[in-house]
Chains A and B, each alone.
Chain A
Amino acid sequence: MMVKDPYKDLKLTVGAVVEPCTSLINKTGGWREFKPVIDHETCIACGRCETFCPDMAVKEVEEDRYEFDLDYCKGCEICAEECPVDAIKMVKEAK
């Protein structure tokens, strides 16, 4: 996703009030050591991974199908921990 750099020509306001969604520029996916990989055969589409993801990086891309937004997933593993059917595995990032 293309995001406008909110810091470009930024002038401060009192209380540093800014337009919404400015943190999208900070792609936190770079922090990740392990990435989540979902096995769609096992997945029961309960949506717990989406509920628990602290970074809103789990998306329901089509009905009953969940994928990860790796631009923002930090690899915290909460989704894998919460998955009731162990459909999410954490795989070491290889560069």
Chain B
Amino acid sequence: MDKMLTGYDAVAEAVKSCDPDVISAYPITPQTDIVEKLSEMVADGELTSEFIKVDSEFNAASTCIGASAAGARVFSATCSQGLKLMSEVLFTASGMRLPLVMAIANRSLSSPLSIWSDYTDTFAEKDGGMIQFYAEDVQEAMDNILMAYKVAEDREILLPALSCLDGFILTHVQEPVELYDEEDMKQFLPDRVPKYTLDPSNPVTMGAYTRPEYWAECKYMVQKALMKSKDKIGEAVEEFADVFDREYGLENNGLISTYKMEDAEVAIVSLGSVVGTIKNVIDEYRDKGEKVGLVKLRVYRPFPVHEINKALEDVEAVGVMEKHVPSGHQAGVAIDTKSALYSTGKRIPVLDFLVGLAGRDVARDNIRNVIEKTKDVKGKDPKEIGFDGEEHWEPLRTEILPEGI
């Protein structure tokens, strides 16, 4: 069924189709409309979830892990400062192996205060044992919710999963989307079967204190589960294609998808809504006969090392475009792409373009600049560029900086 929906209503529809037992969240722009819609559905009797109102994101995340421990399918949504306030609890959820799914309407972290979109919020959670999906458009943001549940609740995985969509750019845009048939949902996402549950008649302790001789092994199991989730995501996209007839990176375990990469000499690596515009600019270059392609990250954690390496096998230069800020080193995707390539022995230039920060528009001209700069280093030894030469703020308005910076 095709329907014209805003991103937030569409995500709420996807969550409704997953039929969570418990929803707990706290409002924060631009996420608020997602849970507002869900609470409306509960109030109207369309959705039977227990909607637990709380006084903060810390409490929302805590409520979710408590419900997940009791065996419930749970949902929350947040972003930015709200995600930071949840962070402590979410690290706990992964260690306790409690699946929960959250929609994140990506928004910058303060300060300076901004309500607009970038990935400074979710990238800061990369070490927390959570799976992170990113969406290019509203339909993918919805479909990622279903796949997030599928993988997070798998008894070999049991981890929190974030389904990220660009705040405002995707949450507040209207796009035609396809909703889900109830029978298809039953096939794709059966009820959760928890491994351990809190049950007063059969008490257990969860989240106990652990001595040094056991802690590392617990974290080892989380890492193994994250790595295994790559294959599970691969299985999920295959099953998703069978049931719903939409494909997401089938050739690449669902972790990345590629665009015009077959004979590409220059590759752009990026993620999120900006990918649509990048494809348009790549089409321009292809029309001129230039061999430029795109690798779109669908999943940032676990990082798709093997899929990226395969996609970049014959490439001569890479331009990473990420809505993230470096903090005393390079930014997330650039670091990860370079470290992935390390194991292949392939030495090609990888430039890091910091774009679209705090919702700043990423126009075609910015993308052309990125491609031109990446073309310029094609075939160069990274030594010639040097570490400092890899970082590019696209654009950087040097004229507004104070003197001496």
Contacts and interface: CB of A to CB of B under 8 A. Distances in A.
Interface of A: 7, 10, 12-23, 26
B218 A16 contact: yes
A15 B214 contact: no
A12 B217 contact: yes
Contacts of B217: 12
A12 B206 CA distance: 12
A7 B98 CA distance: 23
B208 A12 contact: no
A17 B205 contact: yes
A67 B284 CA distance: 82
B295 to A, nearest CB: 33
B196 A16 contact: no
Contacts of A13: 196
B173 to A, nearest CB: 38
A14 B210 contact: no
B186 interface: no
A61 B29 CA distance: 54
Given A17-B205, A26-B209, A12 B196 contact: no
B203 A20 contact: yes
B205 A20 contact: yes
Interface residues of B, number: 20
A13 B195 CA distance: 10
Contacts of B205: 17-23
A2 B396 CA distance: 68
Nearest to B211: A7
Contacts of A26: 209
A14 B97 contact: yes
Nearest to B217: A12
A4 to B, nearest CB: 14
Nearest to B155: A14
A16 B208 contact: yes
Given A7-B211, A23-B209, A26-B209, A16 B96 contact: yes
B204 interface: yes
Contacts of B95: 15-16
26 contacts: A7-B211, A7-B214, A12-B214, A12-B217, A12-B218, A12-B221, A13-B196, A14-B97, A14-B158, A14-B221, A15-B95, A15-B158, A15-B196, A15-B206, A16-B95, A16-B214, A16-B218, A17-B206, A18-B204, A18-B205, A19-B203, A20-B204, A20-B205, A21-B205, A23-B205, A23-B209
A13 B208 CA distance: 12
B194 to A, nearest CB: 10
A23 B196 CA distance: 19
A3 to B, nearest CB: 14
Contacts of A18: 204-205, 208
A23 B214 contact: no
Top 8 nearest A-B pairs (CB, nearest first) are A15-B97, A20-B203, A17-B196, A15-B96, A18-B205, A20-B205, A16-B218, A17-B204
Contacts of A21: 205
A78 to B, nearest CB: 21
A14 B204 CA distance: 13
A10 B196 CA distance: 18
Contacts of B211: 7
B155 to A, nearest CB: 8
B204 A10 contact: no
A24 to B, nearest CB: 11
B226 to A, nearest CB: 13
Nearest to A12: B217
Contacts of A12: 214, 217-218, 221
Interface in B219-270: 221
Interface in B14-43: none
A26 B211 CA distance: 11
Interface in B333-374: none
